Amino acid sequence: MTSRYKRALVTGGAGFIGSHLARALLAEGLEVVVLDDLSLGKRSNLPKGTQFIEGNICDPVPVSRALEGVDIVFHNAARVSVRASISQYVEDAQVNVFGTLSLLRALVGTRVSKFVLASSMAVYSDSETPVPIDEGFSQRPLSPYGTGKLAAELYALQICAAHGIDVVPLRYFNTYGPGQAFTAYVGVVTIFATKLLRGEQPTIFGDGLQVRDFVSVHDIVQGNLRAMHSDVTGQVFNIGSGIGVSVQEICQLLIAKIAPDISPLYAAAQPGETRNSIANIELARQRLDYQPTRSFERDVDEVIEALAAS
């Protein structure tokens, strides 16, 4: 499909999701600019052919440079830890809320005609049962991270509408895939697999029966491309697999593949994390023609191989 856009900015484009997205946009024939402060992203993640600008989204100088000639923005730069946001709520808001506002202010009056925002399933309240939730589900976030992401959505919808810029916030569910950096807080699949590859016991917080929607980074990228090609604006979409899997099931599957003799440790449940979180993706199917093509069972070997090689 030929894109109406010529030059894209991907904030956070040296990170996990952003680098996959940048690569896909290049494959679609767009010029791609990446803005990243390398706080978590790596230069080695940058696809060949991107223009890289090192800088923070709160700094107007690199942001202004990055926006030169750009007609579509994919905003993925963020602090992404629910657990860390519990204590570091000021730092979380500085990037996820004020950073988004700084970027929005900078793009007003430029050539940018579309803004695709990476939001999160953390904007939702907890679901009492493991059933898919749609975009109208209760939005009383359990963490400062979720609160910040919800605020960023609302600001983006209001500011873009006021300035005639198309806007599509995408609520990512639990993303996994090759290239995700190992940290103690983010990406349970990467955390479990990395621990097992090191011969260490993975830790399950809570009873492990909490249910999540694990969505491939390749499908997250597909959701972004569908949002780019769509005429839809002012609408928020869930981007997930639509399938719920318990954390315990994920852990046991990885143990079976990597280290069958290792058993998990259990620790107290962490504050700010939902019990059940599964995406109802019907709206994205209908309005964006989004259709997940990956499954954890088929893709898990790709993740393990990438981690083993890193």
User: Which CATH number goes with the domain that contains 59?
Assistant: 3.40.50.720
- Confirm whether 205 is domain-assigned: no
Q: What is the pLDDT of residues 190-216, one digit of tens each?
A: 999 999 999 999 999 999 999 999 999
Strands (E), 156-246: 166-172, 174-176, 203-205, 211-212, 214-216, 237-239, 245-246
- Confirm whether 168 is domain-assigned: yes
What kind and span of H or E run contains 10?
Answer: strand 7-11
- Confirm whether 202 is domain-assigned: no
Buried b (16+ CB within 10 A) or exposed e, 211-243: bbbbbbbbbbbbbbbbbbbbebbebbbbbbbbb
In terms of pLDDT, which residue wins out, 122 or 188? 122
The whole-angstrom separation of Cα 223 and Cα 236 is: 12
Q: What is the pLDDT of residues 85-120, one digit of tens each?
A: 889 999 999 999 999 999 999 999 999 999 999 999
Q: What is the pLDDT of residues 128-156, one digit of tens each?
A: 899 999 999 999 999 999 999 999 999 99
The whole-angstrom separation of Cα 17 and Cα 35 is: 13
- Confirm whether 229 is domain-assigned: yes
Phi-psi bin for 199: left (phi > 0), alpha (psi -120 to 50), beta?
Answer: left
Q: What is the pLDDT of residues 249-308, one digit of tens each?
A: 999 999 999 999 999 999 998 887 888 999 999 999 999 999 999 988 888 899 899 888
- Quickly tell me which residue has 């449940």 as its tokens: 269
The whole-angstrom separation of Cα 244 and Cα 131 is: 8
Task: Provide CB contacts within 8 A for 157, sequence distance 6+.
Answer: 167, 169, 234, 236
CA angle, residues 133, 139, 142, in degrees to nearest 5:
100
What is the total count of domains within the chain? Answer: 1
Task: Provide CB contacts within 8 A for 17, sequence distance 6+.
Answer: 76, 118, 172, 175, 217, 220, 221
As given in the structure block, the two tokens for residue 296 are 């954890």
Q: What is the pLDDT of residues 33-74, one digit of tens each?
A: 999 999 989 999 999 999 999 999 999 999 999 999 999 999
Pick from 132, 174, 129: nearest CA to 275: 129
- Per-residue model confidence (pLDDT) at position 84: 87
Answer for the pair 185, 84: CB distance below 8 angstroms, yes or no. yes
- Per-residue model confidence (pLDDT) at position 272: 76
- Confirm whether 263 is domain-assigned: no
The whole-angstrom separation of Cα 220 and Cα 224 is: 7
Looking at the predicted structure, is the pLDDT value of residue 184 above 80?
no
Mean pLDDT score, 171-188? 83
- Confirm whether 161 is domain-assigned: yes
- Per-residue model confidence (pLDDT) at position 179: 85
Catalytic residue among 5, 124, 145, 172: 145
Question: Across-strand partners of 216?
Answer: 176
Answer for the pair 240, 213: CB distance below 8 angstroms, yes or no. yes
Q: Is 145 a catalytic residue?
A: yes
Looking at the predicted structure, is the pLDDT value of residue 182 above 80?
no
Phi-psi bin for 145: left (phi > 0), alpha (psi -120 to 50), beta?
Answer: alpha
- Per-residue model confidence (pLDDT) at position 83: 84
- Confirm whether 77 is domain-assigned: yes
pLDDT band of residue 7 (cuts 50, 70, 90) is very high
- Per-residue model confidence (pLDDT) at position 167: 98
Q: Which domain does 54 fall in, by range?
A: 7-173+216-240+281-292
- Confirm whether 183 is domain-assigned: no
